[in-house]
Structures are given as C-alpha cells and as structure tokens.
Structure 1
Amino acid sequence: MNRKENRERLRQEQFDICIIGAGASGAGAALDAALRGYRVALIDRGDFAGETSSRSTKLIHGGVRYLEQAIKKLDLAQLRQVHHGLAERRTVIRNAPHLAHPLAILTPVFSWFEGLYMTIGLTLYDFIAGHDAFPKGSWLKKEKALDKSPMLTRKMHSAVLYYDGQFNDARYALALAHSADEAGAAVVNYTSVIDFGRENGQLKTAIVQDQLTGETLTLRASVFLNCTGPFADSIRLLANPKLDQRIRPSKGVHIVLPRETLQSDYAVLIPKTPDGRVVFAIPFGDKVFVGTTDNDYSDLSREPVLETDEVDYLLETVRPYLDKTPVRADVQAGFGGIRPLIVSSRADTKTLLRDHEVEHDSESGLLSLLGGKWTTYRLMAQDAIDRASELLTKTVPGSTETHYLIGGENYRFDDWQVLQNKYGLPADVCQHLMKTYGTRADRVAQLIKTQPILSKKITASQPFIQAEVVYQVREEMAVTLRDVLARRWRLELSNWQLTAQLAPQIAELMAIELNWSDEHRTQRIQAYQNLLVSFVKQAGLQKDQSEMSTV
C-alpha cells in the first residue's frame, strides 16, 4: 500500500463509493465493493483498526451468552445472531488461516447440576454450528481438566470444554484493507472528513484533511458509506444535523497477565459474574488477556483506557476460578475499546443487541452501517454494499465468502521451516513471520538479502526483527510508532514497559524510511513514552517511571 499514491488518487478520481472508517466493517466493505468492480475509496482519520476493531477479546464466536438469553427468553433474534456468528466463524478462519484458528475453552463448574446445564447449552451451540471443522465439546472430570489447564481452581467439580475461534484482530483488519488496496481501492489512513459538499441536499463530495500534513482536498463519490463504529453519529450529524443519535457507546477493558497465569493453551470462560456478565481469560502470545467489562461511555473524545477500579473488578472476577490468584503487581498492561451498540429501549448495555443495521438517510443520501460485532463483519459489509449497489443502480453480487485475504491463500504454517532454510533466521522468528504475514512472510525476509543488519532481533525476548519495521512502513502504511507497536505488532497491548523501552529503536528505523528529522524522532519517542506512562498511572499500577523511558 502506497499512501502518497493513494492520497493523490483521492484528489483526482471520481469514486462510486467512499467508505469512511477503516475498522472491521469499513475495511470489509471496501474489499467487498472493490471485488464487485466498484471504484472505491477507503479513508480513516487514524490508522486501520485504530479504535474498536483492534481492542476486542480476540474471539470469533457465535456468542454463548446470546444463546443462553435466546433460550431463556425464547428470543429468535438472538438465536439468529448465534447462527450467523457460528457460520461466519468458519469463513473468518478459512479466509486468513495465518491470523485465525480454533481455540479450546474450558468452563469450570462447581456442581453436577451446573455441569449438566453448561453441557446441554454448549452441545446445542455445537449443533447450531453444524458440520464445521471445529472439534466438538465435552464434559471433563476434574482431573482431566487440570491436566489441560493446571492453574484452574481445585475447588471446581468438573469443567466443560468447547471450541470457538481466536484471531489477531488488528492484523485481520489490516489484511482486509490491504486486500482491498490490491483489488483496486484507494486506501488511505490518517485522513479525516471535516465537511461535505452537497447538491440539492445530497452529498456529492467530502472535504478531507490529511492528519499528518494538515493538507485538505476534495473527494468526489456517488455514495458515501459511514463505517465509523462508535463514532458513527458524528458523521451522521455532519451529513444531516437533524438526525437523532443512534449509537450508545459501551466501554470494555482487558487486563494483561503473564502466560504463567494459566500455564495452558486453553482459554477459560467465566460464565457468571456478580453483575451478570461473561468474562474470558485467553492465552494470546506470551500473555493472558482477561476481559471484558461493559459500561456506558460518554466522552468519545477521550481514549478508553484501563482504570484502577476496572483492574480490581477483573482480578476479583477471575479469583474464584484459579488456584493461584493474580494480584495487581502481575498486571503488565491493559487496553480498552468502545462497542457501537445501537440505541434501543432496553435498560442497559449488557442487554442491548450487538446486531447491525444499514441506515439510509434520504435527505443527505448518507449510508451508515451501525452496530455489529467482529465475527459478522463480512455479513455487515455485504449488507452495506448491497444497499450501496441499489443506490448506484448497478447491482453486482458479492464474492467475499471465498476470497482469501493477503497472506492466506496456500498458507501452511510448517513452511516456516522453508523460510528458515532459505534465510537462516531463528525458528521463533520464522514461526512468528508465518503467523503474522502468512505467505507474505518471504517478502519480509527478502529485505535482509540487501540489508543483512535487518535480520537482527529488536529484543532478545521477542521474535520481532528489524526487517518487519521496514516492511510495515513500505507495504502496510505504518506511519507512527503506535502503528507498529500497538497494531502491526501487538506489543503495546501486552507489555507497556517493554514497549516504552523499544520505542527509540523502532523510531530510528522508521525515521530512515519516512525521512524524520532528529527533532521529530525525539518528539515522537517522548510523546509515546509519556502516553504509556499515563496508561500505567490511570490503571493505578506501580511502575518505576525511569524503567518506562530510555530517552
């Protein structure tokens, strides 16, 4: 992806569809539309998946909680959601097998009746999933459950095992955007809509501003599609100030603990909390993510971050399910996101449906894709582009169900050995490259042919190498330190202290590629490290500030 060339396309071309927002739904819609042959622009005021779409629980699922509610309340709408989610779970993994895979999840239970109840529910979950490639669940005796996950509480009666999907959300969204780019879309990050131009009330142009340079340009399109998730109302009201607000934002946070917290590849589902939520403890890389919370969130101008009371809540929630209770000192990082729940008459965010809706404002012509969840991003995108097709009076069927994303086609994890033989890189580096870039891993490794220094690890404790930073700038449109450390790698999510320590080294590599001055490089490092220190303070975690900085 070439940002300079794509930005020039925004200035010069007339597009069929301009998609605003490059998270899961926006990037998915851009790929869908480009594959149908439409002229597509995809823009975002920040990075790809810079907000909600990079801050999920990393699960692809039908929703076990939705299933329970559907049965208890005889709610067919929730049952349909489960069915759609389970069907799409299969597709998400098929289309990017390097970024998504099945995940075993254990649910500890404390009585025979509770075990029977959970087993019946999860058997129904498997039944709805049909004959897919996922293993079927089972009810395990205590001893067998402890064999699989030795840190579970000895007080449990038994455990119920089932399977869902796990994925790298930020890189999956990036793969969607990158795939859309290769299908012909003009994809540009850090480009914000500041106004619309109209004819007879209908949107004809968008005035957009480059957030890196401050430059503005006029983007022309026949249809504008709003895919900005929790920020959808700001675009809707910019297009038509008379509209009612439709989004009720809900904040969810996760804490990050050492992998030793579980000592297992099996995740843990905590099926009931004092306030009626579901919480997961999930292995992800060399860490365990625990979350999520679910609370109203009103200040969309402020990044949702982990706060002291949220750390306490999640530690307290996981306590009864583990033999050794984690404490505040074990928390190494955390992250928060905002769910885009659609306003309804229901009482609170825990019961609002995470479904989606394609809204057409006839007065301005704006299309808005509202609500939804990661697992069903493809269906959401398909519905939105179907509606855009009607407005364009040029109907073309979608083809995303069987379209491999960047790095997905002909992917075999075992090819890491081919990579190792070809380039002489360590095994952990080659495995990481395969899981991160799929069949594009060879393109990353090729950079060390002309610059052998790029084969050097960024740090001994991680499999990252210098060539990746160069590749991410040249091919994946990374332009800030957070683009690399928080999204193309997931280090910011998992270890704030290490992220701060590595920032100068990453900045040095980026500065060469992006022609940063020494002053700009130093400012970027300092600003990022200060941000990480603020995260530690807001979470109430005790870290030596000198350890968070090397500048």
Structure 2
Amino acid sequence: MNRNANWERLQQESFDVCIIGAGASGAGAALDAALRGYRVALIDRGDFASETSSRSTKLIHGGVRYLEQAIKKLDLAQLRQVRHGLAERRTVIRNAPHLAHPLAILTPVFSWFEGLYMTVGLTLYDMIAGHDSFPKGSWLNQAEALAKSPMLTRQMHSAVLYYDGQFNDARYALALAHSAEEAGTAVVNYAAVTGFTRENGQLKSATVQDQLTGETIDVKATVFLNCTGPYSDALRLLANPAIDQRIRPSKGVHIVLPRETLGSDYAILIPKTADGRVVFAIPFGDKVFVGTTDNDYEDLSLEPMLEPDEVDYLIETVRPYLAKSPNRSEIQAGFGGIRPLIVSSRADTKTLLRDHEVEHDPESGLLSLLGGKWTTYRVMAQDAVDRVGEFLNKPVKSTTENHYLIGGENYRFDDWQRLQTQYGLPADSCQHLMRTYGNRAEAVAKLTQQSVLAEKLIDSQPFLKAEVVYQVREEMAVTLRDVLARRWRLELSNWQLTAQLAPQIAELMAAELDWSEAHRSEQILAYQQLLNTFIKQAGLSLEQSAVASL
C-alpha cells in the first residue's frame, strides 16, 4: 500500500463511495464495495483500526451472554444475533486462517446444578452453530479440568468446555484494508474529514486534511458512508447539525498478566460477576488478557485508559477462579476501547443490544453504519454497501463471504519450516511470520537477505528488523505506534518492552521514511511519555510495573 500514490488518487479521482473510518466495518465495507466493482475511497483520521477495532477481547463469537438473555426473556432478536454471530464465526476464520482460529474456553462451576445449567446452555450454543469445524463442548470433572488448565481453583466442582474463535483484531482490519486496496480502493490513513461541501443540501465532497503534512484536499464521491464507530455522531453532526445523536459510548478495558497466570492454552469464561457481566481470561501470545468492563464513557476526545478501580475490579473478578491470585505487581500492560452502542431506552449499557443499523439522513445524504460488533463486521458491511448500491442505482451482489483476505489463501502454518530452511531464520521467528503475514510471510523473509534485517530486535521475542521495513513499505506504517501497537501487538501486552524497543524501531523507520534526527527523537520521546501516562493513569508505580526506564 503506497500512501503517497493513494493520496494523489484522492485528489484526482471521483469515487462512487467514500468510506470514512477504517476499522472493522469501514475496511470491511471498502473491500465489499471494491469487489462489487464500485470506485472506492477509504480514509481514517488515524491508523487502520487505531481505535475500537484494535482493542477488543480478540474473540469471534455468537455471544454466550446473548443466548442466556434470549432464553430467559424469550427474546427472538437476541437469539437471531447469536445465530448470525455463529454463522459469521465460521466465515471470519475461513477467510483469514493465519489470523483467526478456534479457541477452547473453560467455565469453572461450583456446584452440580451450575454445571448442568451451563452444559445445557452451551450444548444449545453448539446446536445453533450447526455443523462446522469447531469441536463440540463437554462437561469435565475437576480432575479433567485441571489437566487442561492447572491453575484453576481447586474449589471448583467441575468445568464446562466449549469453543469459540480467537483472532488478531488489528491485523485482521489491516488485512481487510490491504485487500480492499489490492481490489482497487484508494486507501489512506491519517486523513481526517474536517468538513463537507454540498449541492442542494446533499454532500458532494469531503474536505480532508493529511494529519502528517497538514495538506488539505477535497475528495469527491457520489455517496459518503460513515463507519466511525463510537465517533459516528461527530460526523453525522458535521453533515447535518440538526440531527439527533444515536450513539451511547461504553468503555471496556483489559488488564494483561503473564501467561503463567493460566499456564494453559485454554481460556476461562467467568459467567457471573458481581454486577451481572461476563469476564474472560484469554491466552494471547505469551500473555493473558483479562476483561472486559462495561461503563458509560463521556469524553470521546480522550483515549480510554486503564483506571485503578477497573484494575481492582478485574483482579477481584478473576481471583475466585484461580488457585494463585494475581496481584497488581504482575500487571504488564492494559488497554481500553469504546463500544458504539446504539441509543436505547434501557438504562444499563450491559443490557443494550450490540446490533447494527444502516441509517440514511435524507437532508445530507450521509449513510451511517451504526453499532455492531467485530464478529458480524462482514454482514454489517454487506448491509451498508447494499444501501450504497441502491443510491448509485447500480446494485451488485456481495461476494465477501468466500473471499480470502491478504495472506489467507492456501495458507499452511507448517510452511514455517520451509522458511527456516531456505532463509536460515530462527524457528520462533518463522512461526511468528506465518501467523502474522500468512502466505505473504516469504515477502518478509526475502528482506532478510540483507543480513542486518535478519537480526531479531531482542532475543526473547520473534520480531525481526525486516518486518519493520516491510510494514513501512507494504502496510502503510508511518508512526512508532502503528508498528508496536497494531502491526505487532506489543503495546497491548508489555509496556516495558515497548518502551525498550521504540528507539530501534524509530531508527529503522527513519531510514525508510527519511525522518530527520529531530523527528526521530520526538517520536521516541512522545511515545515513551504516552506509555508513562498509561502506567500512572492505571495507578501502577514504576517499581510495580518494572518500567523504570521511562
């Protein structure tokens, strides 16, 4: 993906649809529209998936909680959500097998009745899923459960095993955007919409500012599609100041603990918390993510950060389910995201339906894709682009259900052995390349023929210097955070190591992007200060978090 070339396209071409927001739904819509033959632009004020779409629990699921509520309340709408989610779960994994896979999840229970209740519910969950490649669940006695997850509490009666999907959310969104670009979309990150021009009240062009250079251009399109998630109201009001707000933002955070917290490849579902939510503890790489919370969030101008009371809540929630209780000193990172809940009369964010809606504002012509969740991003995008086709008077059927994303076609994880033999790279690096880039892994490996780029950044991790060069040249990475938070997921899992590696990453990026020494130093300092803010905001001391280097 060449940012400069695509910026030129934005200036020179006129598009059928300009999609604003390059998270799950926006990037998904861009791919869908491009595959239908429409002329498409995709822009985002930040990086791809830099907000909500990179800060999920990393699960692809139908929604166990929705199923329980659907049965208790005889709510067919929630049951439909579960069915759609489970159908899309198969598609998400099939289309990018390097980035998504089934995940085994254990639910510890503390009585025979609780075990029976969960078994019945999760058996129904499997039945709704139908015949797919996912293993079916089972009810395990205590010994069987401990054999699979030895750090579970001995106080449990038994555990119920079921399966859902796990994925790398930021790289999945990047794969969608990259696939859309290869299908003909003009894709540009760090391009913010600051206004619109109109003809007879209808939007005709968007004023777009390059957030890296300050240059401003007009992007012409027949239809504008708002896919900005929790920030949708700001764009809706920019297009029509008289419109009612529709989004109720909800904040969810995760804490990150060492993998030894679980000591297993099996995740844990905590089905009942003090305030009626569900919480997961999920192995992800060499860490365990614990989350999430669910609280109203007011100031969308501020990045959601981990707060001390949220840390305490998650530690206390997971404590009864583990033999060894985690404590604050073990927390290595954390992250927060904002859910785009559609406004409802219900009082509590945890009871709001995370469904989606395609809204058309007749006054401005703006289309907005509101609400939704990662699992059903493809259906959301399909619905939105169906509406785009109606307004273009050029309806074309969606083909995304069976379309492999970048890196997914003919993917074989075992090809890491061939990479190791051919390029002489460490085994852990080759495995990491396959899981990160799929069938594009060899394009990264070829860069290691320059011997300096074959080096690891640090012995304890699989990351290669060649990856940074590839991410700049092929994946439109332009800031340190693009690499460390999203192309890799290091910021989410280890604040200390992220700060430690920032200068090396900056040196590699500076050579590719022609940064001055002053700009390189500014990038490093600003990023390390941001990490320091995360630590202080979470109420962790430097000694506790071991990030004394900051």
TM-score bracket for the superposition, by shorter chain length: over 0.9
Q: How does 1:73-222 map to 2 (within 5 A)?
A: 73-222=73-222
Letter in 2 for 1:319: R
Counterpart of 1:395 in structure 2 is 395
Deviations 1:439-488 (A, max 9, x none): 00000011122x11101001111100000000000000000000000000
Rounded to whole Å, the distance in 1 between the matches of 2:198 and 2:543 is 54
Counterpart of 2:471 in structure 1 is 472
Deviations 1:307-365 (A, max 9, x none): 11100000000000000000000100000000000001111100000000000001100
Rounded to whole Å, the distance in 2 between the matches of 1:547 and 1:378 is 41
Rounded to whole Å, the distance in 2 between the matches of 1:546 and 1:275 is 28
Counterpart of 2:488 in structure 1 is 489
Q: Alpha carbons of 1:328 and 1:547: their partners in 2 closer, same or farther (altered >3 Å)?
A: closer
Give the 3-state SS of the residue equivalent to 1:299 in structure 2: coil
Counterpart of 2:344 in structure 1 is 344
Maintained 8 Å contact 2:535/2:545: no
- The CA RMSD measured in Å over matched residues stands at 1.0
Q: How does 1:222-371 map to 2 (within 5 A)?
A: 222-371=222-371
Maintained 8 Å contact 1:103/1:266: yes
Rounded to whole Å, the distance in 1 between the matches of 2:355 and 2:60 is 15
Counterpart of 2:47 in structure 1 is 47
Deviations 1:90-141 (A, max 9, x none): 0000000000000000000000000000000000000000000000000000
Counterpart of 1:4 in structure 2 is 4
Rounded to whole Å, the distance in 2 between the matches of 1:466 and 1:307 is 34
Q: Which runs of 5+ in 2 are unaligned?
A: none
Letter in 2 for 1:217: I
Rounded to whole Å, the distance in 1 between the matches of 2:175 and 2:20 is 17
Q: Alpha carbons of 1:545 and 1:288: their partners in 2 closer, same or farther (altered >3 Å)?
A: closer
Rounded to whole Å, the distance in 1 between the matches of 2:346 and 2:127 is 29
Q: 1:416 offset after TM fit, Å?
A: 0.3
Q: How does 1:437-456 map to 2 (within 5 A)?
A: 437-449=437-449, 451-456=450-455
Q: 1:544 offset after TM fit, Å?
A: 4.2
Rounded to whole Å, the distance in 2 between the matches of 1:330 and 1:119 is 33
Letter in 2 for 1:278: V
Deviations 1:479-535 (A, max 9, x none): 000000000000000000110011000000000000000011001100000000110
Give the 3-state SS of the residue equivalent to 2:316 in structure 1: helix
Rounded to whole Å, the distance in 2 between the matches of 1:219 and 1:480 is 24
Maintained 8 Å contact 1:501/1:548: no
Counterpart of 1:62 in structure 2 is 62
Q: 1:549 offset after TM fit, Å?
A: 7.1
TM-score by length of 2: 0.99
Rounded to whole Å, the distance in 2 between the matches of 1:122 and 1:550 is 47
Rounded to whole Å, the distance in 2 between the matches of 1:120 and 1:550 is 51
Give the 3-state SS of the residue equivalent to 2:460 in structure 1: coil
Rounded to whole Å, the distance in 2 between the matches of 1:104 and 1:504 is 38
Deviations 1:7-41 (A, max 9, x none): 00000000000000000000000000000000000
Deviations 1:345-393 (A, max 9, x none): 1111000000000000011000000000000000000000000100000
Instruction: Give every structure 1 segment of 4 or more consecutive aligned residues whose post-TM-superposition deviation is greater than 2 Å.
Output: 544-551
Maintained 8 Å contact 2:233/2:245: yes
Aligned residues: 550
Letter in 2 for 1:408: G
Counterpart of 1:15 in structure 2 is 15
Letter in 1 for 2:489: R
Give the 3-state SS of the residue equivalent to 1:161 in structure 2: strand
Whether 2:491 is the aligned partner of 1:515: answer no
Rounded to whole Å, the distance in 1 between the matches of 2:434 and 2:541 is 36
Q: 1:548 offset after TM fit, Å?
A: 3.9
Q: Alpha carbons of 1:319 and 1:424: their partners in 2 closer, same or farther (altered >3 Å)?
A: same
Deviations 1:190-221 (A, max 9, x none): 00000000000000000000000000001000
Deviations 1:34-65 (A, max 9, x none): 00000000000000000000000000000000
Rounded to whole Å, the distance in 1 between the matches of 2:545 and 2:515 is 26
Maintained 8 Å contact 2:499/2:531: yes
Rounded to whole Å, the distance in 1 between the matches of 2:107 and 2:540 is 29
Deviations 1:220-242 (A, max 9, x none): 00000000000000000000001
Give the 3-state SS of the residue equivalent to 2:46 in structure 1: coil
Q: Alpha carbons of 1:47 and 1:416: their partners in 2 closer, same or farther (altered >3 Å)?
A: same
Letter in 2 for 1:289: F
Deviations 1:382-415 (A, max 9, x none): 0000001000000110000000000000000000
Whether 2:503 is the aligned partner of 1:504: answer yes
Maintained 8 Å contact 2:454/2:465: yes
Maintained 8 Å contact 1:307/1:540: yes
Maintained 8 Å contact 2:171/2:487: yes
Maintained 8 Å contact 2:330/2:545: no
Whether 2:534 is the aligned partner of 1:531: answer no
Rounded to whole Å, the distance in 1 between the matches of 2:465 and 2:544 is 26
Give the 3-state SS of the residue equivalent to 2:50 in structure 1: coil
Q: Alpha carbons of 1:546 and 1:323: their partners in 2 closer, same or farther (altered >3 Å)?
A: closer
Maintained 8 Å contact 1:419/1:442: yes
Q: How does 1:401-420 map to 2 (within 5 A)?
A: 401-420=401-420
Q: Alpha carbons of 1:549 and 1:185: their partners in 2 closer, same or farther (altered >3 Å)?
A: farther
Maintained 8 Å contact 1:33/1:385: yes
Counterpart of 2:458 in structure 1 is 459
Give the 3-state SS of the residue equivalent to 1:350 in structure 2: helix
Maintained 8 Å contact 2:542/2:548: no
